[in-house]
Amino acid sequence: MTGITIAITNQKGGVAKTTTTVNLSASLASMGYRVLIIDMDPQGHAGEHLGVKKEQTILEVLTKQTVIQNNIVKTYKQNLYCLPSNLQLGQFNQLNPTQYQYALKGALAEIKGDFDFILIDCQPSLSLLTLNALTASDYVILPVQAEFFALDGLSQLVYTLKEIQNRLHPTLGVLGILLTMFDRRNKLSLEVRQELTQNFRESLFKTVIPRNIKLAEAPSFNLAINDYDKGSAGADAYQNLAKEILKKLNLDKS
């Protein structure tokens, strides 16, 4: 196992970073891949979604109070593991960036061989935590919500990623831009898709995540979408995304 590491990031809040991290991970896990979710957001939503305890967290790992193996927890789902966070993780952003910008990368080196995929949920800001997620990752996925200001933030994000590639991590790849909460009856959704296609055709995932109430309900049942409602449009979409990613990475067996 090579532990392909993917950060799900966007400095904008509420664009479906956590929903994508959890449900893409669960889709990969149900295909038989061993997957670890790392919650790099002090809001702790990824762990909460899966109903894992948030006592031992990524914070102690980043600050070297413990080794990473000690704080990884099993989720209810076979093949799916989580390294949760809680509000205390916010303290990490006060530390010296020069000393700590590769803390996650260092920790992951110890366990990469134990997982097929490591997916990192990021907080909605370009903080030291997010910088750690990016320096530790092979790829990024950029979720974009189908709404009016979506493209505004995206250009800034792409610029920031270029800076990081230039200064810290030249091989960081953009796996794709993911259009989320898409509503095909909504004119604005269609316009955003058109603009994304014009400006970012190369990087835009073919899979689009529709607005689907089941995706919003699943966290309150502590289930991933493919266990909460396997036949839903949301479950289908994240399954298709998983397949598209395997294809992009030349890992699909079909």
Ligand X SMILES: Nc1ncnc2c1ncn2[C@@H]1O[C@H](COP(=O)(O)OP(=O)(O)OP(=O)(O)O)[C@@H](O)[C@H]1O
State the residues that interact with ligand X by CB under 6 A: 13-19, 41, 43, 45, 124, 180-181, 209, 211-212, 215-216, 234
Query: Residue 193 in 3-state DSSP?
Result: helix
Neighbours of 162 (CB within 10 A): 12
Smaller CB separation from Mg ion, 78 or 88:
88
The answer to the question of residue 17 lying near Mg ion (CB under 5 A) is yes
Smaller CB separation from ligand X, 14 or 32:
14
- In the chain, the amino acid numbered 58 is I
Smaller CB separation from ligand X, 3 or 44:
44
26's contact among ligand X, Mg ion, none, with CB below 5 to 8 A by partner kind, is: none
42's contact among Mg ion, ligand X, none, with CB below 5 to 8 A by partner kind, is: none
Dist CA 20 CA 22 (whole Å): 6
Tokens at 59, concatenated = 């914070």
Q: Is the dihedral of CA 121, 119, 210, 223 positive or negative?
A: negative
Stretch that binds Mg ion, among 45-53, 72-80, 96-104, 166-174 (CB under 5 A): 45-53
209's contact among Mg ion, ligand X, none, with CB below 5 to 8 A by partner kind, is: ligand X
Scored b (16 or more CB within 10 A) or e, 119-130 reads bbbbbbebbbbb
Stretch that binds Mg ion, among 42-50, 52-60, 181-189, 212-220 (CB under 5 A): 42-50
Please report how the helices 150-167 and 128-136 are oriented relative to each other, as an axis angle in degrees rounded to 10: 60
We find the least distance from the C-beta atom of residue 124 to ligand X, in angstroms, to be 3
Stretch that binds Mg ion, among 13-21, 150-158, 174-182, 230-238 (CB under 5 A): 13-21
Dist CA 254 CA 75 (whole Å): 28
Smaller CB separation from Mg ion, 15 or 36:
15
Of positions 5, 10, 18, 212, contacts Mg ion by CB under 5 A: 18
We find the least distance from the C-beta atom of residue 96 to ligand X, in angstroms, to be 25
Tally: H helices and E strands in the chain: 12, 7
Parallel, antiparallel or unpaired: strands 35-40 and 117-122:
parallel
- In the chain, the amino acid numbered 213 is I
Smaller CB separation from ligand X, 28 or 209:
209
Task: Give the residues lining the site for Mg ion (CB under 5 A).
Answer: 17-18, 45
